[in-house]
Amino acid sequence: MLGTTVTRRLLTLALLGALVGVPGVALQSTPAIADQVRERQYWLEDYRIQEAWQITRGAGVRIAIIDTGIDATHQDLVGAVAGGADFSGMGSVDGLTPVGPDRRHGTMVASLAAGRGNNSVDGVIGSAPEAELLSLSMAFSGSVVSADDQVANAVRFAVDNSADIISLSLTRNTRDWPESWDRAFSYAAANDVVVVAAAGNRGSGTVSVGAPATMPGVLTVGGVDQDGQASDSASSQGITIGVMAPSEGLVGATPGGGYVSWSGTSGATPIVAGIVALVRSAYPNMDAPNVINRVLLSANRVTETIPDPIYGYGLVDAYEALTADVPYVSSNPLGSIDDWVVLHRKQEGNPIVVPLGPQSTVADEDQALPPRIPARDAPQWGLLPYVVTVGFASALSVVVLTGVVLVLWRLRKR
């Protein structure tokens, strides 16, 4: 049990700025015991996460949490955070000081990805309780650095600091994204990092999926209720959804040793990020596209259509993700940000002119000569050379024809 000196406050999660979350239900008005916190984590059994722990608990894998920062002193996160950085200019250099108006959010997210719990059976335990976390703190309001730049810089930092997975429980509330994200997310893909992002919440005004969940190559997570049905309030819908995970009736750790009951794809996303960590731990030599493909194809289908516009590939299944027979793929089944940029971004620099008609070819392009331009001082003869040439050719033809006729006439006389 937790010590009696720990104060448990009644906390609810509010949506602020670009954070993905909907108001949750506070824990009991009387002091809650940690056993009740563990008992609320229905997804550990329902989504076969506990079964997957028989194979791996995520050791050797690093998850970057780009959010408001993680309170690494929380009893359920002691030993989980390997380091971090702040990108808001408002927190501590190591990213371990939660920032922004809703400073609790990052700790809540982190606990569902790699919470350690405490006393073996108490507190919040994440999908990958032996994975490491990077705390990359950012603020969605109040910072002199734009949120877009904070995200781009945090993604690059995560890649440079050995992250295997990046978890993003945030949205721009727009389908598009800035060009700085093109480069940052391309950098992550080039360095074999799996990016997991939240679809957003209808109850918070995000009717359709927004970036980064709309970006090619990103594993987008939608949310379902405790019966496995798409959540009307705690999940947006869109064709980019990869898998679904629980987004209602969640619990999470909060700074200062507290807990909160909450809902939203903010919580579904780190649950899936932890499952991805289990796959990366079980298959350390598997590249990111095949890790993603394994998570997608092992999901439990909800409809015959794959991917389904509401459920994606289905409900995520941790044990199947580790044990299913999944075919190899040579590229990310969710697309390529680099390919998208080539098709949709206006290219800078010298334009490339593509000929539209049939063109002659030469064996060596270096041998091709440009059109010949007469010197400025050369005599300008106009059409005279062509008239002389045509006249001479015509006279020669008459002479030849006359000769042929005379020869034939003499032969006939004989």
Active-site residue, selected from the candidate residues 102, 105, 231, 281: 105
- Known catalytic membership, residue 344: no
Which residues are CB-neighbours of 258 under 8 A, at least 6 positions away? 6, 7, 8, 9, 11
Active-site residue, selected from the candidate residues 67, 86, 122, 182: 67
Tell me whether residue 156 is exposed, middle or buried, using C-beta atoms within 10 angstroms of its C-beta: 0 to 12, 13 to 18, 19 or more: middle
Residue 300 carries which DSSP code? B
- Known catalytic membership, residue 105: yes
CA atoms within 13 A on the CB side of 410: 5
Q: Among candidates 182, 165, 67, 77, which has minimal Cα distance to 125?
A: 77
- Known catalytic membership, residue 360: no
**∠ CA(254), CA(105), CA(118), 5° rounding?**
30
For helices 337-344 and 179-190, angle between their N-to-C axes, nearest 10 degrees: 150
Active-site residue, selected from the candidate residues 135, 137, 263, 266: 266
**Rounded to whole angstroms, how far apart are CA atoms 27 and 260?**
6
Tell me whether residue 361 is exposed, middle or buried, using C-beta atoms within 10 angstroms of its C-beta: 0 to 12, 13 to 18, 19 or more: exposed
**Rounded to whole angstroms, how far apart are CA atoms 170 and 349?**
34
Query: Which tokens is 28 given?
Result: 């009991």
Catalytic residues, by residue number, are 67, 105, 266
